[in-house]
């Protein structure tokens, strides 16, 4: 094993797949000459050249469409958005073309493409640069949605996403690019759609994904001091969701808290809540509690932003609520 940063895990995954398959290429704003806005493509222009590492204008709709069209001629593009907030400019191409090409062509064309970049908040970036769109994309048949929380998962899942024959939304975080973690020296992949129990427990299940799962770890450490044992599940893939992993854990602990950095109405946590009440209702010893951001655009003020975001204190309170403590 070796220890690398999250950004290096992303770079290694893309580079290894580009060496493996000449049809893979990377395009996006500042991915080439600048080595990526977050240095996640550092050195790739030097290795692969300007035909496979392509700087684009600030025109998300245009380069999303170019990349999607190129899949129909045998290519496997990786499109980097500087943030998924900017993907809204190109969302017509993602939803109405990438997600539907296979069905609307009667299976004649597939669309092997990865759209990747940071999601959700990253400090004082204000309302239009702090949005989480996992549930938007996951609501769309034809798309797969991956949100890793550490370098190991990021590299293994990105390699699988690049090899997948369907469009994949791969969501990262500006605040995770510097995170360090161990990854194997050799080749490995992680299957899409498989959650992982990051911490075994017996009293309550906490389901989360992405960078906000760190707050669950903090809360679990605090709760352990009080004798409360938390099982933490990292979804890793939002769609397809590993339903059985969630249900199996809830049937063991009989309690569920869902932690998600997203607006509270109609999100991933809502889907999980419905799943558990419909398929494991008799196992529940308490109502499911979901923890989300406040139901407002993200504030710029650091004081308000701290209140707006879920944190470990919220998780502790939620766990004690389902434990009736």
pLDDT in tens, 296-307: 999 999 999 999
pLDDT of residue 114: 98
Helix residue ranges, H only, 25-181: 44-48, 60-71, 91-93, 101-104, 134-138, 151-163
Residue 313: its pLDDT value, please?
98
Given this model, what pLDDT does residue 141 score? 98
- Per DSSP, the residues of 94-131 read IIIIITTHHHHTTTS-----EEEEE-S--SS--GGGS-
The residue among 280, 287, 227, 234 whose CA lies nearest residue 256 is 287
Report pLDDT digits (tens) over 158-194.
999 999 999 999 999 999 999 999 999 999 999 999 9
Q: For the sheet with 204-208, list strands across it.
A: 196-199, 230-234, 204-208, 256-259, 289-291
Q: What's the confidence (pLDDT) of residue 119?
A: 97
For the segment 220-231, the average pLDDT, to the nearest whole number, is 98
Structure tokens at 58: 């600030």
Mean pLDDT of 288-302: 98
Residue among 166, 180, 206 nearest 320 (CA): 206
Residue 124: what pLDDT?
95
From 129, 172, 260, 261, active-site residue = 129
For 23-51, the pLDDT digits (tens) are 999 999 999 999 999 999 999 999 999 99
Output the pLDDT for position 319: 98
Give me the pLDDT at residue 51, please: 97
Give the per-residue pLDDT at 241.
98
Is residue 42 within 8 Å of 36, Cβ to Cβ? Answer: yes
Whole-number Å distance between alpha carbons of 188 and 201: 28
- Please give the Cα distance from 33 to 260 (Å, whole number): 35
17, 29, 60, 271: the catalytic one is: 60
pLDDT tens digits for range 242-267:
999 999 999 999 999 999 999 999 99
| 200 annotated active-site | no
At 31 the pLDDT is 98
* Coil vs helix vs strand at 324: coil
pLDDT for res 216: 98
Q: What is the rounded CA–CA span in Å between residue 315 and residue 291? A: 7
Q: Does residue 96 have a cis bond before it (omega within 30 degrees)?
A: no
Q: Where are the alpha helices (DSSP H) in 257-301?
A: 268-279
Residues 90/50, Cβ–Cβ less than 8 Å: no
Q: Is residue 307 annotated as part of the catalytic site, yes or no? A: no
Span 77-100, average pLDDT:
97
């Amino acid at each position: 094993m070796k220890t690398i940063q999250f950004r290096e895990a992303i770079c290694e995954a893309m580079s290894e797949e580009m060496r493996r398959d000449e049809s893979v290429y990377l395009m996006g704003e500042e991915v080439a000459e600048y080595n990526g806005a977050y240095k996640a493509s550092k050195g790739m222009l030097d290795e692969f050249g300007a035909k496979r590492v392509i700087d684009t204008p600030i025109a998300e709709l245009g380069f999303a469409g170019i990349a999607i069209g190129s899949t129909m001629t045998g290519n496997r593009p990786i499109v980097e958005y500087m943030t998924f907030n900017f993907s809204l400019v190109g969302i017509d191409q993602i939803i109405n073309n990438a997600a539907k090409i296979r069905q609307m062509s009667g299976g004649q064309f597939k669309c092997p493409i990865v759209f990747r970049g940071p999601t959700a908040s990253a400090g004082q970036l204000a309302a239009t640069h702090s949005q989480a769109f996992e549930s938007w994309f996951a609501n769309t048949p034809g798309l797969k949605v991956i949100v890793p929380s550490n370098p190991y998962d990021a590299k293994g899942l990105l390699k699988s996403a690049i090899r997948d024959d369907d469009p994949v939304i791969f969501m990262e975080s500006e605040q995770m690019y510097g995170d360090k973690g161990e990854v194997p020296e050799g080749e490995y992949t992680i299957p899409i759609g498989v959650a992982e129990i990051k911490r075994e427990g017996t009293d309550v299940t906490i389901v989360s994904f992405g960078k906000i799962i760190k707050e669950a770890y903090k809360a679990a450490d605090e709760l352990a001091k009080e004798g409360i044992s938390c099982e933490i599940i990292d979804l890793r893939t939002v769609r397809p969701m590993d339903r059985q992993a969630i249900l199996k854990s809830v049937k063991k602990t009989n309690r569920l808290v869902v932690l998600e950095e997203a607006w509270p109405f109609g999100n991933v946590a809502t889907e999980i809540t419905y799943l558990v009440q419909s398929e494991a209702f008799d196992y529940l010893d308490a109502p499911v509690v979901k923890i989300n951001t406040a139901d407002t655009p993200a504030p710029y003020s650091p004081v308000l932003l701290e209140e707006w975001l879920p944190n470990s204190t919220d998780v502790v309170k939620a766990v004690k609520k389902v434990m009736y403590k």
